[in-house]
Amino acid sequence: MLTNDQIESLFTFCRRHFVYYYDVQVELVDHLANAVESEMKANPKLSFENALDKVHGGFGIMGFAPLVAEKEKMAQIKGRRLLWNFFKMQFKWPKIFFFILITSFLFTIFSTDFISIKWTFIVIVNIGCFADAYQTIKLNRIISKTGKKFLTGEISQLAGLSWFPFYVFYFPNIFDKGFLSHVTSTLTIFEISLFLSLFIILIQALSQTVSSFKNSLYKTYPEVFLYKNLSSY
């Protein structure tokens, strides 16, 4: 059984070998501790340091880099799946009623007042982007207070970029002087209403995703995320 000092040495060893994410460190330290213990049991004369070097050598010339890259890839996939699941949930009853209500409301307004399309679009998109950025910044402030870096925090920022294709698809056209002159058909008005409704739903899903990331960190690493230190956030 390794001592607390030896366990802390494993964390230091991971950081020294470019594993900066605490959530990856915890998993890697657990693996290293078991492997080092096995080596020391097999050869009682083997020191902790030599056993650790032997175990690390088993990772190959690239060391921990492939493992970290794989963890990053898996986290990105998990983040996208989580976001997609929250997004799909918005179209199940009774939540889909909210989506239908928004679309109908926007369609009614735009059908009677073309000019309102431009400013409504700008207001909704900017509020949505601000809300998304606020959630991400809030999570990053909580993480920074721990003094550690988490892969989950990095993925939450990538998830926040999911609104970007929605943003660039329409936003430049809104400032085109001839934009409103093209908004003449019921189909176009419905398309814009649907676009904005989907954007609102996406922002809502992003908020739930970031909240899920935060709750997961609290639950998995209670020794780091002490409630008394984070209650102000």
Chain segment 175-223, per-residue pLDDT in tens: 555 555 556 578 778 888 888 898 899 889 888 988 998 899 989 998 8
**24 vs 133 pLDDT, higher one:** 24
Q: Could you tell me the pTM of the whole model?
A: 0.81
The answer on pLDDT for 232 being more than 50 is no
6 — pLDDT class (breaks 50, 70, 90): very high
Tell me: pLDDT of 228 over 50.
Answer: no
Task: For residues 108-137, give the mean pLDDT.
Answer: 81
Mean pLDDT (the chain, rounded): 84
Segment 162-168 mean pLDDT: 57
Judge whether residue 170 has pLDDT over 70: no
DSSP 226: -
Residue 17 pLDDT level (bands cut at 50, 70, 90): very high
Residue with tokens 């679009």: 121
pLDDT at 233 over 50: no
Residue 232 vs residues 132, 157, 226, 229: alpha-carbon distances, Å? 20, 22, 12, 7
Confidence of residue 116 (pLDDT cuts 50, 70, 90): confident
